[in-house]
Structure 1
Amino acid sequence: MTDAVPNAELARMRVDYAGAGFDLDDLAPTWHEQFGRWLADAEAAGIVEPNAMVLATADLAGRPSSRSVLLKGFDPRGLVFYTNYTSAKSHDLRRAPMASATFPWYPLRRQVHVRGSVEEAGPEEADAYWASRPRGAQLGAWASAQSTEVADRRVLDDALEGAARRFADVEQVPRPPHWGGWRIVPDQVEFWQGRENRMHDRLRFDIDRHDRSWRVRRLAP
C-alpha cells in the first residue's frame, strides 16, 4: 500500500469561506476594470505570483490540457501571455482557437474565470515584452524546443550553453521567430467570491453576440 491520503481524511479537508459579500454594487463598470481591482488586491495581499493563471486548451479530439502560465498584459481587448509558438499549447490554440483561464487567489477566497477566443498578440507587443525579460530567460527561449522530447537534462543544459555562446557578443538578444504572445479575447469573465455555507457569490460578465455589449449575471454557487 502507498501512503495515499484516505478518502475519509480528504472528506474532512475544507475551509469555511467566511468574509464580505460581493454584489452588483461592488462591480466596476467593465470586466477589465474589475479584474484590475482584484489583481491589485492579490498583489497587495502578498500572494505569490498573483498574475499566474491556469490556462486550459483542447486539441481537435476534444482532449483538454491545462497548465500554469503568467499573465503579462491585459486591457479591454483581453489577456495576454507569452510562449513558444511550437509548444503544445500553441498547437492546440492554432487548431482549436478557444481557451479558458482561471486565477486562483485562494488566500482571498477569490477566483476569476475567463473564457473566449484567442488571437496572436502583435509583433510590437511581443517585442516590447521580450525586451523586458531577463537575458537568461531570453536565452532559454532560444534554447528550448518546448514540449518536444529530450533524452536527458544534459541536452537542455548544452542547448542553453550553445545559445549563450551564439549571442555572447550581442547586447540585446533578438526575439526568436518562434516565440510570441497569445491574447484571450473574452466573451465571459466570472468573478467568484467565497462565502459561508458554500453559498458563494458569482457575478459574470457575458458579451451579447448580436450587439457586442456586456451584461452581468448572478449565478447560483
Structure 2
Amino acid sequence: MSDLSDIRREYTLGGLRRADLSADPMQQFECWMEQAKRAGLSDPTAMVVATVDERGQPFQRIVLLKRFDDKGFVFFTNLESRKATQIAGNARVSLLFPWHSLERQVAVTGKAEPLSTTDVLKYFLTRPKDSQIAAWVSQQSSKISARQALESKFAEMKAKFSRGEVPLPKFWGGYRVTPESMEFWQGGEHRLHDRFLYSRADSGWQIDRLAP
C-alpha cells in the first residue's frame, strides 16, 4: 500500500468573496473561462461528465466543452456510447471543470437534453476532416480486438470519403446541459477554501456560501 498522506501544498493564489461574484452564474463562468484561457491552461475546456447507469453506478469521463451560453453547456459524442446510453436512462448529469493551476474548480448539476440535428450538423462541419472521419470509425465504448482494427477502419473510411464532404453520421450528436446548480470553488490557505453555490430559484439564482 502506498501512503500519500504527506503530499500536500497550500493554496495561495487568492480568495473569493461574495462581492466578487456576478449575479448570474453563466456570466461568472464566462469570466473564469476567459481567465483560464488567458492563463494558458492546457485544455481549459476539458470537463468531467458524470452519468449514472440503471444500477445507480456512477461513471465519469473527460469531454471537451464546445459551447456555452445562458441556456447551458454543450458537448458532442457518439449517441451509442456509454454516456449517451446512460443519459437516455437518466438525463441528470454533473460537470466538473478542474482548473488546478488556478486553484479553482466549477461543479455543475443539471439535465442533459439532445441537440437538434441542425445544431449538430453546424458543429460537425467545423471539425477537421480527419475528425469527421473518426466519428464514423469508432463504435464508442464497444469492445474491439486491437488498435489495428481502428486504424484499418479509419483508412477504409478515409478512402471512401476522399472526395467531397463527409456526411453526418446518424449515430453522432450532442447535448446541452441546463444547469440547476453551479458551485465555484477557489482554494484558500489552511484549507479554508471559498465555495459559493448558485441554485435556481423562482426569481433567478440564489447564492450561498458553503463551508470548505
TM-score range, shorter chain: over 0.9
Kindly provide the amino acid, as one letter, of the partner of residue 191 in structure 1: F
How far 1:124 sits from its partner (Å)?
2.2
State yes or no: 1:71 paired with 2:62: no
Q: Which moved more, 1:122-131 or 1:96-105?
A: 122-131
State yes or no: 1:123 paired with 2:114: no
Q: Deviations over 1:144-165 (max 9, x none)?
A: 1111111111111111112112
Aligned partner of 1:58 in structure 2 is 52
Q: Deviations over 1:168-198 (max 9, x none)?
A: 121x212111111111111000000000011
State yes or no: 1:190 paired with 2:175: no
Q: TM-score, normalised by structure 2?
A: 0.97
How far 1:27 sits from its partner (Å)?
0.8
Measured in 2, the distance between the counterparts of 1:173 and 1:14 equals 49
Task: Give the 4+ runs in structure 1 shifted more than 2 A.
Answer: none
Measured in 2, the distance between the counterparts of 1:128 and 1:173 equals 13
How far 1:212 sits from its partner (Å)?
6.1
Tell me how large the CA RMSD over aligned residues is: 1.1
How far 1:126 sits from its partner (Å)?
1.2
Aligned partner of 1:138 in structure 2 is 132
State yes or no: 1:165 paired with 2:134: no
Measured in 2, the distance between the counterparts of 1:204 and 1:65 equals 23
Measured in 2, the distance between the counterparts of 1:95 and 1:54 equals 19
Question: Please, which of 174, 179, 203 is the counterpart of residue 181 of structure 1?
Answer: 174
Aligned partner of 1:214 in structure 2 is 205
How far 1:62 sits from its partner (Å)?
0.4
Kindly provide the amino acid, as one letter, of the partner of residue 86 in structure 1: E
**Residue pair 1:19, 1:194 contacting (<8 A) in 2 also:** yes
Aligned partner of 2:196 in structure 1 is 203
Measured in 1, the distance between the counterparts of 2:50 and 2:23 equals 27
**Residue pair 1:143, 1:162 contacting (<8 A) in 2 also:** no
Percent identical among aligned pairs is: 39
Measured in 2, the distance between the counterparts of 1:101 and 1:174 equals 30
Kindly provide the amino acid, as one letter, of the partner of residue 155 in structure 1: A
The runs of 5 or more residues in structure 2 that have no matched partner are none
Q: TM-score, normalised by structure 1?
A: 0.93
Please give the secondary structure, in 1, of the residue aligned with 2:153. helix
Please give the secondary structure, in 2, of the residue aligned with 1:16. coil
Please give the secondary structure, in 2, of the residue aligned with 1:180. strand
Please give the secondary structure, in 2, of the residue aligned with 1:34. helix
**1:25-104 matched pairs, under 5 angstroms:** 25-104=19-98
- The size of the alignment, in residue pairs, is 212
How far 1:32 sits from its partner (Å)?
0.8
Kindly provide the amino acid, as one letter, of the partner of residue 87 in structure 1: S
Please give the secondary structure, in 2, of the residue aligned with 1:173. coil
